[in-house]
């Protein structure tokens, strides 16, 4: 995979993953006329929840990188429990917040952050499952631009690394 120089969750650490991405300085905005403007009264607190999800994913970024380099046996070792625990707790909290979102666009924006952290941790199977739940075309297209492997059908095999 060609290195595009893009860190989608912008953790500021120059992340790399099995798909080979790093921080990119320019993010192209989606056309403003494609989505009707949401009002704050329509979905109160949803934008804040999406920001919370992104913050949780940013906090878990370094731990997700460490988890991606661990074998299942290494994940059980006491020395690695901090990174594994922080990654799992942040992922769980971010997932719970995402499930509370009513608006499809906000939910897909939060799910995008979850997919990035799953890819960082090497959990391609779970990332693909979430990818197939996305309904906003621009978000799906953006993910596919950097991670074309997400388009593959989710496998039935279990495991953190794919």
- Residue 78's Cα: distance from chain center in Å? 26
Q: What is the pTM of this model?
A: 0.69
Determine the pLDDT at residue 4: 46
Extract the tokens encoding 134. Answer: 């996305």
Query: Do 16 and 68 form a contact (C-beta atoms < 8 A)?
Result: no
- pLDDT 10s per residue in the chain (162 long)? 444 444 555 555 555 444 444 444 444 555 555 555 555 557 889 999 999 999 999 999 999 999 999 998 998 998 899 999 999 999 999 999 999 999 999 999 999 999 999 999 999 999 999 999 999 999 999 999 999 999 887 666 555 554
Radius of gyration over every alpha carbon of the chain, rounded to an integer in angstroms: 16
How far is CA 156 from each of CA 64, 101, 128, rounded to the nearest angstrom? 22, 27, 11
Going 93 to 116 to 136 to 38, the CA torsion angle's sign is: positive
Rounded to the nearest 5°, which phi and psi values hold at 81? -65, -30
Determine the pLDDT at residue 10: 54
- Residue 24's Cα: distance from chain center in Å? 16
Determine the pLDDT at residue 66: 92
């Amino acid at each position: 995979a060609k290195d595009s120089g893009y860190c989608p969750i912008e953790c500021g650490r120059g992340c790399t993953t099995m798909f080979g991405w790093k921080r990119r300085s320019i993010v192209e905005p989606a056309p403003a006329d494609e989505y009707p403007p949401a009002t704050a009264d329509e979905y109160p607190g949803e934008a804040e929840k999406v920001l919370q999800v992104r913050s949780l994913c940013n906090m878990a970024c370094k731990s997700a990188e460490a988890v991606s380099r661990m074998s299942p046996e290494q994940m059980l070792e006491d020395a690695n429990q901090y990174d594994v625990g922080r990654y799992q707790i942040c992922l769980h909290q971010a997932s719970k917040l995402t499930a509370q979102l009513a608006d499809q666009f906000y939910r897909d924006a939060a799910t995008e952050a979850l997919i990035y952290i799953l890819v960082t941790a090497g959990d391609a199977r779970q990332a693909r499952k979430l990818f197939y739940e996305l309904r906003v075309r621009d978000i799906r297209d953006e993910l596919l631009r950097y991670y074309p492997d997400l388009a593959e059908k989710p496998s039935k095999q279990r495991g953190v690394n794919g």
